[in-house]
Amino acid sequence: MNSALAQSPAKSQGAAKTQSQIDPSVVDPVGQLQKISAQVKASSVELESIAAELDKLNGELDKLEGKTAKDIDRKQFAALEKRFDLTLARSTAVEKKVGLSLGKSLKDIDSVRNALKKVEQERQQDRLKGKKLTPILSDKDLKECLKDLTDLDKTVRELQANLKDK
């Protein structure tokens, strides 16, 4: 466990694992939280972008609906149809990619949450033993991180539900 989150100097001195062997969520849970948040935001932006593009194309197709075949330029219609098909294919690829990314984000959230809860439990045990704590992440910050993780988890699950509805 990283000494930055460890509660007692004795524990941090006896750490047998090297930094490369330690789960990154244990080493830097706040950094991991920020990284996961950025990934989720990027996924959300990507989904919004493709949805806006599809809405725009649907609007263009709707404009053609009331026209007769004579009034529609075949080349323009073919180009619009091709753009729609390409956007639909891109949408499918984006949804698949985002779905995988969101699944990974949930796993990462669980890892960070477990690491923070372990730190929280170890702090409680150390306090009961009367050990002097020297944490870098305060108890207040730790609780705030756990709350942020819960909020992020909820957001990811909502995005997943929206993907399934499409």
Instruction: For residues 85 and 92, give the distance between their C-alpha atoms in angstroms, rounded to a whole number.
Output: 11
pLDDT of residue 154: 96
Q: Which two tokens stand for residue 90?
A: 């891109």
Give SS3 for 33.
helix
Minimal CA–CA distance to 163: which of 56, 32, 36, 40? 40
pLDDT of residue 89: 94
Give mean pLDDT, residues 140-161: 93
The ranges assigned to domains in the chain are 31-165
pLDDT of residue 26: 60
Residue 8 DSSP symbol: S
134 has a pLDDT exceeding 60? yes
Instruction: For residues 6 and 113, give the distance between their C-alpha atoms in angstroms, rounded to a whole number.
Output: 16
Contact 43, 101 (CB under 8 A): yes
Instruction: For residues 74 and 76, give the distance between their C-alpha atoms in angstroms, rounded to a whole number.
Output: 5
71 has a pLDDT exceeding 90? no
Query: How does pLDDT run across 77-131, given as a tens digit for each residue?
Result: 889 889 999 999 999 999 999 999 999 999 999 999 998 998 889 889 988 998 8
66 has a pLDDT exceeding 70? yes
Give SS3 for 138.
coil
Architecture of domain 31-165: Up-down Bundle (1.20)
Minimal CA–CA distance to 5: which of 36, 30, 40? 30
pLDDT band, residue 137 (cuts 50/70/90) = confident
Query: How does pLDDT run across 33-62, given as a tens digit for each residue?
Result: 899 999 999 999 999 999 999 999 999 888
Residue 134 DSSP symbol: -
Query: How does pLDDT run across 5-36, given as a tens digit for each residue?
Result: 443 333 344 344 443 445 555 667 888 889 99
Hey, CA dihedral for 51, 53, 58, 63, is it positive or negative? positive
